[in-house]
């Protein structure tokens, strides 16, 4: 048994909430309204250390390892069950960050006690013959799902319910994402300031990460800096490789502030931009600007896609344009709904946040892309990342 108390009163001296109590109450209320519409009596929300946002969204608690569940009753009452407990002490395992009073910990096998606690909580919340939803199925390991399903036979997927609640950002969430955007801008400034012939890719990435940490932010994802022919494959891992004059470089980074993300990428060349590389950079800039012309409420994602396609249609760059993905929703996870791709008729609406990155990628040469995190507003959009879009001379 734990020696250190972990009830809510014991947690209060250490508990620092990322948002106000009213903001968390708003989230729970929105989720409960969705549960009522779907006829659900209880909702089980799953998250792991690899993707903790679903649980953190409701509880302020992000498991550092292992598994965590929130059981939400239709009346808004919640309980947390987790096996993310180091050396049998929940208070040594970040549980002091949890704002929910009812916390159940499993000190046994990873796939053991937490499921028993969740099943008991859900059954108590919903009652016999009730409907229980499950959110977080994309991350849920199969053994855990099988164990839950055997105890809760009426368990049904409810990922869309949680995704819908998270789609529209509140004023507090937007303010936090602005902070994450500014941190990403500063990190990009540090990265491009360090970029020069003879400097290793890892050193450029290190400059960005150091700036993030100095600002009190964290990486939203592993910082990407790739030069040379690898820049024509877009994403990659920085190497102990010195950048060479005249080659293209792709930099992709993001900041995490209080659990909310930004996503920012820029392309450039080492030294003066000349030849095919400069042309590719300009095409990426033209794409970015063309999509922004139609970015705003009432337009569909496919409307933006069509505007992008017109930029490259009939040009030598058309075969290298990537219509299958020119961005994604973003929030507490780097990739959320809506997906930005051709044929998606989802309508853009105020308070949506997206990472917008139309791109042309040419193997052996490089990538032409300008990526920013955007907030859809009542009149158009706001750039939450604001680093200059022209990064070459």
Mean pLDDT is lowest, of 13-22, 81-90, 206-215, for 81-90
pLDDT digits (tens, 9 = 90+) for 314-354: 999 999 999 889 999 999 999 999 999 999 999 999 999 99
Kind of pairing, strands 372-376 and 353-356?
A: antiparallel
Q: Which CATH number fits domain 8-167: 3.40.50.300, 3.40.350.10, 3.20.20.10, 3.30.70.20?
A: 3.40.350.10
Q: Nearest-5° angle of CA 16, CA 212, CA 50?
A: 65
pLDDT digits (tens, 9 = 90+) for 42-90: 999 999 999 999 999 999 999 988 999 999 999 999 999 999 998 889 9
**Which two tokens mark 357?**
């990155």
Q: Report how far apart, in Å, the C-alpha atoms of 23 and of each of 173, 222, 324 are.
A: 9, 29, 35
Average pLDDT over residues 182-202: 99
Mean pLDDT is lowest, of 62-76, 249-263, 267-281, 341-355, for 62-76
Rounded CA separation 42/99 (Å): 19
User: Has residue 299 got a pLDDT over 80?
Assistant: yes
Q: What is the dihedral of CA 176, 179, 180, 184, to 10 degrees?
A: 170
At 128 the pLDDT is 60
Task: Please state the pTM of the whole predicted model.
Answer: 0.95
At 87 the pLDDT is 87
Q: Which residues, including other chains, have CB under 8 Å from residue 342's CB and lie 6 or more apart? A: 302, 305, 306, 309, 323, 324
Looking up tokens 């502030």 gives 257
At 123 the pLDDT is 82
**Which two tokens mark 230?**
């690898």
171-383: what CATH class? alpha beta
Looking up tokens 């400097």 gives 199
Rounded CA separation 201/237 (Å): 9
User: Has residue 223 got a pLDDT over 80?
Assistant: yes
Largest CA distance in the chain: 70
List, in sequence order, the alpha helices (H) in the chain: 8-11, 21-38, 53-59, 113-126, 142-151, 159-167, 171-194, 201-214, 275-293, 301-312
Average confidence score pLDDT of the chain: 95
pLDDT digits (tens, 9 = 90+) for 24-49: 999 999 999 999 999 999 999 999 99
For the chain, give every domain's residue range: 8-167, 171-383
């Amino acid at each position: 048994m734990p020696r250190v108390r972990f009830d809510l009163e014991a947690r209060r001296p250490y508990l620092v909430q990322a948002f106000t109590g009213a903001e968390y109450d708003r989230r729970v209320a929105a989720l409960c309204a969705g549960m009522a519409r779907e006829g659900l009596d209880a909702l089980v929300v799953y998250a792991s250390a690899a993707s903790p946002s679903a649980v953190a969204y409701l509880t302020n608690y992000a498991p550092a390892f292992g598994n965590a569940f929130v059981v939400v009753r239709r009346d808004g009452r919640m309980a947390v069950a987790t096996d993310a407990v180091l050396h049998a002490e929940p208070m040594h395992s970040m549980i002091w960050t949890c704002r929910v009073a009812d916390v159940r910990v499993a000190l046994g096998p990873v796939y053991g006690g937490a499921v028993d606690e969740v099943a008991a909580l859900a059954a108590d919340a919903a009652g016999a013959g009730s409907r229980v939803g499950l959110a977080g199925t994309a991350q849920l390991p199969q053994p855990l799902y099988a164990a839950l399903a055997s105890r809760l036979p009426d368990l049904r997927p409810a990922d869309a319910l949680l995704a819908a609640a998270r789609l529209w950002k509140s004023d507090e969430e937007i303010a936090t994402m602005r902070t994450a955007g500014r941190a990403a801008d500063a990190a990009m400034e540090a990265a491009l300031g360090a970029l020069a012939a003879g400097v290793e890719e890892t050193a450029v990435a290190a400059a960005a990460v150091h700036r993030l940490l100095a600002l009190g932010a964290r990486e939203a994802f592993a910082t990407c800096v790739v030069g040379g022919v690898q820049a024509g494959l877009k994403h990659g891992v920085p190497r102990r490789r010195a950048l060479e004059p005249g080659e293209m470089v792709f930099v992709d980074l993001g900041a995490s502030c209080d659990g909310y993300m930004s996503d920012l990428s820029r392309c450039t060349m080492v030294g003066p931009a000349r030849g095919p590389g400069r042309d590719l950079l300009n095409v990426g800039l033209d794409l970015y600007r063309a999509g922004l012309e139609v970015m705003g409420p009432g337009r569909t994602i496919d409307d933006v896609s069509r505007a992008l396609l017109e930029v490259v249609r009939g040009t030598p760059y058309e075969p290298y344009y990537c219509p299958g993905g020119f961005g994604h929703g973003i929030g507490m996870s780097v990739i959320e709904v809506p997906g930005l791709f051709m044929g998606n008729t989802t309508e853009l609406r105020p308070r949506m946040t997206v990472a917008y990155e139309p791109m042309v990628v040419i193997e052996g040469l490089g990538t032409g892309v300008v990526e920013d995190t955007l907030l859809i507003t009542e009149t158009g959009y706001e750039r939450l990342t604001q680093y200059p879009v022209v990064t070459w001379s």
